């Protein structure tokens, strides 16, 4: 929730408080192959999806999104900071690029037990 990327669901955004998090039935931690591991298959799908979006929707060169990721910590941060993506399109970007298969990610009883 308080991860690396700026997010509208991050603590403090849209009025989200620590009490809100404590009241939540489920929390989803998006840590790209940290909590789940599938030889980076999901991370590679996300990278390809972000690259496709930035090429098709924003007219950037292939691999430009990865360069922004390296320079700014996340592609999204770089896209917004360099005015490639208006803040009004952040939610659209997030919905589109995260629409990837999660087929290899199965139950992990040891994580549930934590």
Asked if residue 87 lies in contact with residue 80, where contact means CB atoms within 8 angstroms, the answer is yes
105 pLDDT higher than 80: no
pLDDT in tens, 31-87: 655 666 677 888 889 999 999 999 999 999 999 999 999 999 889 999 999 999 999
Q: Compute the mean pLDDT over every residue in the chain, rounded to the nearest whole number.
A: 80
pLDDT score, position 34: 64
Close Cβ partners of 29 (under 8 Å, ≥ 6 residues apart): 1, 3, 35
Residue closest to 70 by CA, chosen among 91, 49, 47, 92: 47
């Amino acid at each position: 929730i308080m991860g690396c990327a700026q997010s509208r669901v991050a603590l403090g955004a849209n009025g989200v408080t620590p009490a809100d998090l404590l009241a939540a039935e489920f929390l989803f931690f998006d840590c790209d192959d940290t909590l789940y591991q599938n030889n980076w298959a999901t991370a590679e799908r996300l990278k390809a999806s972000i690259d496709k979006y930035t090429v098709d929707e924003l007219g950037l060169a292939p691999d430009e999104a990865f360069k922004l990721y390296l320079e700014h910590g996340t592609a999204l941060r770089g896209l917004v900071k360099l005015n490639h993506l208006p803040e009004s399109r952040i939610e659209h970007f997030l919905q589109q690029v995260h629409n990837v298969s999660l087929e290899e990610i199965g139950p992990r009883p040891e994580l549930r037990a934590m």
